């Protein structure tokens, strides 16, 4: 079963859907994230071939295959994805239908792409023209639904379109070679067109992949640079916040005693200068009850009187700060103002020991880093305990992240920056577009050239094979004809023998009757018996002529050198030349010929001149002159001539220009002449007019052993 009949059968629809999904997976594997357009979409080529060979009834099967492929590419079957995939599948099905209709109308059939015009039309219509149907629907609905980033919309549209075009041009030659008919034309194209086109397609894909990888790596390196700059900015922002807290501690160290008003005045600048510091507090360490209570706090007055050691987190912070000089706390509970941490500094010298505590807003610190819009939020994680890292500021997870560790207040924090996907710049996109265009041109050029060359080659091979078949059939027919001729010759011989015997008996009986009853028969009866003898003789001559005609051209003896002048003189004697006719011969040529055939031609022509002469005597001339590989022989007489209208009739069987009662003859002499001359590759004609004689001109090969291809008069 051929591919076309398989697609036209009951299994055509499921095969079409399965083939589309399978080739769709190949295209999905080459998709350039974060987009959804593949640089090569071979499923488009499969759809065009399936609908072109199997008919428009397979368009719904293409839609089903495209739906499944789109859902796989989108990564799920959410309602939004289902709707978008269904609409995009309409574009894929329309692409296949448009291609099939255009090819059928303007090319006729995709199965005989031989002429350059048909090849170019097929490639243009099935590729760049029909693929507009898909790109007008698929990526457009994806853009409207937000499944393709708006910033990459134009690039995705172009990628979708060129991916379909390359898929159609690159895959259809191989698929047609495997499935199209006639198989004798398309089977050689699998290796002559399909495989080389796939190699060209692989080259384009590899080139695109290299360009894509190179550009992505360059974009990734640029991202790392920007991420490092952002993380460094965050580190600097946190360091400034810490410095502001430590500056307040330095103020207390340098003072014997700091009043609440002095504290308020001093902390205005740190709070205003560092947006990440949202609160500062002073807690002396010499309270009468031994507790570490907040004495001054800005701007949160409700902190005043708070025992810092009452909370385990704050108590651990105070203890770490007294031991190390400064410390930073773990993440405080988020009360709606965002994630915050405490930074405490121990003031052990000066007029009054105690703790300066600052509250740091992590979001404000991260915002101060001026992270780029294409980067996700900065993430901060306390990794002091490797087995139980504590996220301080959760970043949106991305496909690419970059980070570094920094020691703050005795703890290790990790600053990280993530990005949803590595984006390509305008320059990279332009280079990829150029690669796309080069790929389309390269694959299309290869496909067209190979289709034209292989089509002509396959057509010549097909014609050669058909010619061989015709030659074999002709040889068979020739053998059959030879057998039939042998049977006909045998029949003619038997028939002539069986017919001539009773004719001779009739003539003998008539002669005996006339002799025995000559004295008693009236004159009328004797005349009738004479007519009977003449008619029997004529019929006997006709039978003999038919036998000669059937044998004409079939000579079993080998050619031999023949002198034309001697042969002409012998022919005159055989023709019954009398003294009333003068035979003039000017034929010095010698030919290698079948002697009997040439002799019979000359004999019949001379006999015809004698028989049809109107004066009972005259001159007959035989001349010969060379004509290339032939000899032209002319037999002329000075008889009554032949009307031009009768030139062709005289060579017909049993045709005589005068009644047989006037001129005795079978009407076969000139027919035999024509058949003998043409059987040797020559030609015969008449040069004559009424009242000025007739000349029969015929050509004969100079060497019958090596006959020329064509008579000079043929």
What are 576-608's pLDDT values in tens digits? 888 889 999 998 889 998 888 888 889 888 888
Task: Examine the pLDDT at 147 and tell me if it is beyond 70.
Answer: yes
Alpha carbon distance 696, 116 (integer Å): 54
**In which element (H, E) is residue 556 found?**
none
| pLDDT-derived band at 620, boundaries 50, 70, 90 | very high
**Among residues 313, 296, 314, 312, which one has the least CA distance to residue 304?**
296
Instruction: Please list, residue by residue across 484-512, b when 16 or more beta carbons sit within 10 angstroms of its beta carbon and e when fewer do.
Output: eeeeeeeebeeebeebbeebeebbeebee
- At residue 635, the pLDDT reads 94
Q: Which of 52-61, 131-140, 549-558, 612-621 has the lowest mean pLDDT?
A: 549-558
Domain locations along the chain: 3-218+426-464, 224-419, 555-701
| pLDDT-derived band at 619, boundaries 50, 70, 90 | very high
Q: What angle do CA 345, 382, 399 make, to 5 degrees?
A: 145
Burial class of residue 26 (count of CB atoms within 10 Å of its CB; 0-12, 13-18, 19+):
middle
What CATH number labels 555-701? 3.30.565.10
| pLDDT-derived band at 659, boundaries 50, 70, 90 | very low
What average pLDDT score do residues 113-124 get? 81
- At residue 663, the pLDDT reads 44
**Among residues 99, 71, 88, 68, which one has the least CA distance to residue 165?**
99
| pLDDT-derived band at 118, boundaries 50, 70, 90 | confident
If one compares 661 and 568, the residue with the highest pLDDT of the two is 568
- At residue 280, the pLDDT reads 92
What average pLDDT does the chain have?
A: 79
**For residue 359, what are the β-bridge partners?**
279, 342
Cis peptide before 94 (omega within 30 of 0): no
Which of 294-303, 447-456, 473-482, 661-670 has maximum average pLDDT? 294-303
- 25's CB contacts (< 8 A; 6+ apart) are 69, 72
If one compares 106 and 633, the residue with the highest pLDDT of the two is 633
| pLDDT-derived band at 488, boundaries 50, 70, 90 | low
Task: Examine the pLDDT at 350 and tell me if it is beyond 80.
Answer: no
Percentage of the chain exceeding pLDDT 70: 80
If one compares 13 and 431, the residue with the highest pLDDT of the two is 13
Task: Examine the pLDDT at 64 and tell me if it is beyond 50.
Answer: yes
Q: What is the longest distance spanned by two Cα atoms in the chain?
A: 195
Is 442 strand, coil or helix?
helix
Task: Examine the pLDDT at 495 and tell me if it is beyond 70.
Answer: no
Q: What angle do CA 531, 534, 536 make, to 5 degrees?
A: 110
pTM of the model: 0.49
Q: What is the 3-state secondary structure (H, E, C) of 292-351?
A: CECCEEECCHHHCCCEHHHCHHHHHHHHHHHHHCEEECCCCCCCCCCCEEEEEEEECCCC
Q: Which of 68-77, 205-214, 308-317, 387-396 has the lowest mean pLDDT?
A: 387-396
Task: Examine the pLDDT at 54 and tell me if it is beyond 70.
Answer: yes
What CATH number labels 224-419? 3.30.450.350
The position carrying tokens 């639904």 is: 145
Q: What is the 3-state secondary structure (H, E, C) of 203-249?
A: HHHHHHHHHHHHHHHHHHHHHHHHHHHHHHHHHHHHHHHHHHHHHHH
Phi, psi (degrees; rounded to nearest 5) at 483:
-60, -45
What are 228-245's pLDDT values in tens digits? 887 788 788 888 888 889
Beta strands 378-382 and 390-393 are antiparallel
The position carrying tokens 């303007």 is: 106
| pLDDT-derived band at 693, boundaries 50, 70, 90 | confident
DSSP-assigned letters across all residues of 6-62: HHHSTTHHHHHHHHHHHHHHHHHHT--TTS---S--HHHHHHHHHHHHH-GGGHHHH
Phi, psi (degrees; rounded to nearest 5) at 277:
-90, 110
């Amino acid at each position: 079963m051929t591919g076309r009949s398989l697609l036209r059968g009951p299994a055509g629809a499921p095969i079409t859907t399965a083939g589309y999904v399978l080739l769709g997976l190949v295209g999905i594997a080459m998709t350039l994230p974060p987009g959804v357009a593949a640089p090569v979409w071979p499923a488009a080529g499969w759809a065009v071939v399936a609908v072109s060979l199997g008919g428009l009834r397979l368009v719904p099967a293409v839609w089903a295959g495209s739906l499944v492929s789109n859902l796989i590419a989108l990564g799920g079957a959410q309602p939004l994805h289902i709707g978008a995939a269904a609409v995009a599948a309409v574009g894929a099905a329309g692409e296949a239908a448009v291609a099939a209709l255009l090819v059928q109308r303007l090319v006729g059939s995709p199965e005989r792409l031989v002429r350059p015009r048909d090849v170019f039309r097929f490639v243009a219509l099935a590729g760049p023209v029909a693929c507009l149907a898909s790109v007008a629907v698929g990526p457009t609905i994806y853009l409207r639904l937000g499944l393709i980033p708006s910033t990459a919309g134009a690039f995705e549209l172009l990628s979708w379109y060129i991916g379909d075009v390359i898929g159609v041009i690159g895959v259809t030659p191989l698929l047609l070679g495997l499935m199209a008919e006639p198989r004798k034309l398309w089977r050689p194209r699998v290796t002559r067109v399909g495989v080389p086109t796939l190699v060209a397609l692989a080259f384009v894909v590899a080139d695109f992949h290299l360009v894509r990888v190179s550009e992505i790596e360059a974009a990734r390196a640029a991202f790392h640079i920007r991420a490092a700059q952002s993380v460094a900015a965050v580190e600097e922002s946190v360091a400034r916040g810490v410095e502001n807290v430590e500056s307040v501690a330095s103020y207390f160290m340098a003072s014997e005693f700091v009043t609440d008003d002095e504290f308020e005045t001093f902390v205005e600048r740190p709070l205003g200068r560092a947006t990440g510091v949202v609160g500062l507090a002073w807690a002396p360490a010499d309270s009468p009850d031994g507790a570490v209570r907040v004495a001054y706090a800005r701007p949160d007055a409700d902190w005043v009187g708070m025992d810092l050691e009452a909370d385990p987190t704050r108590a651990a912070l105070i203890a770490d700060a007294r031991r190390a000089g400064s410390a930073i706390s773990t993440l405080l509970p988020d009360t709606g103002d965002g994630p915050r941490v405490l930074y405490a500094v121990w003031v052990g010298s000066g007029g009054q020991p105690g703790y300066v505590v600052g509250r740091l807003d992590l979001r404000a610190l991260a915002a101060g880093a001026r992270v780029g819009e294409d980067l996700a939020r900065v993430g901060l994680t306390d990794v002091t305990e490797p087995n139980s890292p504590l996220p301080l500021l959760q970043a949106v997870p991305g496909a690419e992240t970059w980070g570094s560790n920094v020691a703050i207040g005795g703890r290790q924090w990790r600053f990280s920056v993530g990005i949803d996907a590595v984006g390509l710049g305008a320059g990279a996109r332009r280079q990829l577009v150029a690669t796309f265009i080069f790929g389309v041109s390269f694959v299309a050029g290869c496909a067209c050239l190979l289709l034209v060359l292989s089509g002509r080659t396959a057509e010549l091979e097909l014609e050669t094979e058909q010619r061989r078949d015709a030659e074999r059939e002709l040889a068979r027919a020739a053998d059959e004809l030879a057998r039939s001729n042998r049977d006909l010759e045998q029949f003619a011989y038997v028939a002539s023998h069986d017919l001539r015997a009773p004719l001779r008996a009739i003539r003998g009986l008539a002669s005996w009757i006339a002799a025995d009853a000559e004295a008693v028969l009236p004159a009328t009866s004797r005349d009738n018996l004479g007519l009977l003898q003449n008619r029997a003789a004529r019929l006997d001559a006709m039978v003999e002529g038919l036998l000669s005609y059937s044998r004409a051209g079939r000579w079993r003896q080998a050619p031999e050198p023949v002198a034309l002048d001697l042969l002409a003189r012998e022919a005159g004697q055989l023709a019954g030349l009398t003294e009333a006719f003068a035979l003039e011969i000017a034929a010095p040529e010698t030919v290698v010929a079948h002697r009997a055939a040439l002799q019979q031609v000359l004999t019949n022509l001379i006999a015809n001149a004698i028989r049809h002469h109107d004066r009972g005597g005259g001159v007959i001339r035989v001349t010969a002159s060379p004509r290339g590989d032939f000899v032209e022989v002319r037999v002329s007489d000075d008889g009554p001539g032949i009307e031009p209208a009768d030139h062709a009739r005289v060579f017909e069987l049993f045709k005589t220009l005068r009644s047989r009662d006037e001129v005795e003859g079978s009407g076969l002499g000139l027919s035999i002449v024509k058949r003998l001359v043409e059987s040797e590759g020559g030609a015969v004609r008449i040069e004559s007019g009424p009242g000025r004689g007739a000349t029969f001109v015929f050509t004969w090969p100079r060497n019958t052993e090596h006959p020329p291809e064509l008579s000079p008069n043929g």
